[in-house]
């Protein structure tokens, strides 16, 4: 946690309201290199007029949305490289090696509680989810590590602290969260 959590960020989405901006939503993301590239989920930044990334040390930076991939529920942001100076990017693991029963660690900002960590296991591999464009996302990891609103876009890590997934959603049944979470595989992001 101490090694990787500085690279986990809050993604704050704002909408232009006259001459000012108001908060539209929030999620999580993580730094993937020293140039300022940040990954999150596509729905986190949809309909944003402005995106601000906040870091664990209390600083923040405006982010440019470089690309979105609704078919795989992913988005790539860019903050100035100075904003990530001194932050070690989270290394990628090979999500194809994930197996049921292995440790799974989710870090993010559920309900705006930044830097929250939950631990569980990989509950299933090679699951399929519907994307925003009704195209299936394959290779999805299932976990029982708690994923709540605000965790979307944050990393799912293995025991080595490597990203094996990007937390995306939870199964909801009759308006109740079931404790079944899903993460887009890191290999899909690559």
Q: What is the pLDDT of residues 55-108, one digit of tens each?
A: 999 999 999 999 999 999 999 999 999 999 999 999 999 999 999 999 999 999
d(CA 39, CA 153): 7
The whole-number pLDDT of residue 175 equals: 58
The whole-number pLDDT of residue 150 equals: 87
Lowest mean pLDDT among 18-22, 160-164, 168-172: 168-172
The whole-number pLDDT of residue 35 equals: 97
> What backbone phi and psi angles, to 5 degrees, belong to 187?
-65, -30
Band (110; pLDDT cuts 50, 70, 90): confident
Helix, strand or coil for residue 189? helix
Percent of all residues in the chain with a pLDDT value above 70, rounded to a whole number = 95
d(CA 14, CA 104): 31
For residue 123, pLDDT over 80 is answered with yes
d(CA 25, CA 13): 5
The whole-number pLDDT of residue 41 equals: 94
Work out the mean pLDDT of the chain and round it to a whole number.
91
The whole-number pLDDT of residue 178 equals: 62
Helix, strand or coil for residue 42? helix
Q: What is the mean pLDDT of residues 135-153?
A: 90
Lowest mean pLDDT among 16-25, 28-37, 68-77: 16-25
For residue 14, pLDDT over 70 is answered with yes
Q: What is the mean pLDDT of residues 36-49?
A: 93
């Amino acid at each position: 946690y101490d090694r990787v959590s500085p690279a986990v960020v809050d993604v704050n989405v704002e909408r232009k309201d006259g001459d000012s901006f108001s908060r539209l939503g929030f999620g999580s993301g993580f730094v993937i290199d020293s140039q300022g590239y940040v990954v999150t989920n596509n729905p986190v930044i949809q309909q944003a007029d402005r995106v601000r990334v906040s870091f664990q040390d209390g600083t923040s930076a405006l982010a440019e949305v470089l690309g979105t991939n609704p078919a795989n529920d992913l988005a790539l942001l860019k903050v100035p490289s100075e904003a990530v100076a001194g932050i070690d990017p989270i290394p990628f693991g090979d999500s194809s090696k994930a197996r049921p029963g292995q440790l799974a660690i989710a870090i993010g900002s559920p309900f705006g509680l930044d830097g929250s960590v939950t631990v569980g296991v990989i509950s299933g591999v090679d699951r399929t989810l519907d994307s925003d464009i009704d195209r299936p996302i394959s290779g999805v990891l299932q976990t029982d590590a708690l994923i709540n609103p605000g965790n979307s876009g944050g990393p799912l890590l293995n025991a080595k602290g490597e990203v094996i997934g990007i937390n995306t959603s939870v199964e909801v049944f009759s308006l109740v969260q079931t404790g079944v979470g899903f993460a887009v595989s890191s290999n899909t992001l690559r």
